[in-house]
Amino acid sequence: MSDLRIPVGFEEALRPPVDVRRARLTPAVLGKPSSAPSGGARGQLMRVVRGAPEVMVKITGRTRDGGHLGRHLDYISRNGALVLEGEDGERLAGRDAVRALAEDWAAELAMEPGRRKDSPVSLSVVLSMPAGTEPHRLHDAARAFAAATFGGRFPYVFALHDEGRHPHVHLTVRMLGRDGERLNPRKADLQAWRQEFARTLRDRGVEAEATPRRARGVVRKADPIAIRKLRDRFTAGQADMPRVLASAWREAVEGSGVPPPWRQAIRSRQLAVRRAFVAEAVALQKSGDPEDRRFGAAIERFVRTLPLAETREDLLRRRIEAARDRTLYEQDSGPPTRGRAR
């Protein structure tokens, strides 16, 4: 298969959920968008089929003032125990240096003409990969990503957190740019950032992708961190069931059983994605090239492993029905009687 040929239907499966051309910061601020994924269409399809780890670029919050920024920098620097790295290799070691940076950024913001009182000081971003990624490669990729994305325009600092088996980088970027422009990313910018971070990881020998969920057969969004923590506390018996989760269970129990149009649209889209993969698998397995045929067989195996296209309500209903079936089975079985064969 030629790298220049887009596989049948593959462009739809890999189309980002937002149009990156609508990015507010790309290319005006962030520079020219990165070129095609490494290896072209075939390379990207291979990574998807191999299950390449997906990068995460997540905005975790904004600091409101110098004090808030200081506390945030204390956290990502572990109260000065970790060195914060900035542009051009600038390194801030110790709590005093971290606090001085927070004061400097807050002072710069205070002098902004026409500044609103609620204007945030900084943007907090987390860059991460699934467990098992080598920390030093993740750290170096984050360094390259920050330089390419914000270097020369928006001051920033970052630190690697390497506790346990899930290394990640905390990147803090000043909202006020050096030329007076404010950092205000859209969803399209986040997608562009994901693609750029994945590229910098691949440049360092780390298998990484930034594909939409539908390309991996996933339809449910991950719960926000706050919801996950509430759910974990409930599971551990330390709190009541979160209202969001209670509402979801109630809807699953009381639902009419008729899927709403949006759920049918999700299933139709997933069916179209899977058909595109199958069509490509069939085309490759008809090729005279043994490598193409092996690749086609790999795509076919990949499609067979895709998860069910189910929403959260579908999942809860399935669990309710399974619990009901177990209860009915136990009731029908009844208690063991005397003399029953063991």
Q: Which tokens is 183 given?
A: 């950092």
CB 284 within 8 A of CB 292: yes
Q: Are strands 168-174 and 84-86 parallel, antiparallel or unpaired?
A: unpaired
> Which residues neighbour 142 within 8 Å (Cβ) at sequence distance 6 or greater?
127, 158, 160, 169, 171, 197, 200
> Which residues neighbour 63 within 8 Å (Cβ) at sequence distance 6 or greater?
69, 72, 120, 121, 122, 124, 172
CB 188 within 8 A of CB 144: no
The pLDDT assigned to 91 comes to 92
pLDDT in tens, the chain (342 residues): 554 455 555 566 666 566 555 555 544 444 444 444 555 667 788 888 888 888 999 999 999 888 899 999 999 999 989 999 998 888 989 989 999 999 989 888 777 766 677 788 999 999 999 888 899 999 999 999 999 999 889 999 999 998 767 889 999 999 988 888 888 888 888 888 998 999 999 999 999 888 877 667 665 555 566 666 666 777 777 777 767 667 766 766 666 566 667 667 767 777 777 888 888 888 889 989 999 899 889 989 988 888 776 666 666 666 766 766 667 666 666 665 555 444
Longest dimension (CA), the chain: 90
The pLDDT assigned to 39 comes to 58
Counting other chains too, the contacts that 21-25 makes at CB distance below 8 Å and 24 or more residues apart are 21/188, 22/186, 22/188, 23/185, 23/186, 23/188, 23/189, 23/191, 23/192, 24/184, 24/185, 24/186, 24/188, 24/189, 25/183, 25/184, 25/185, 25/186, 25/189, 25/192
- Tell me the C-alpha to C-alpha distance, in Å, between residue 7 and each of 1, 22, 35, 108, 280: 9, 25, 18, 50, 6
DSSP 29: T
**What predicted TM-score, i.e. pTM, was given to this entire model?**
0.72
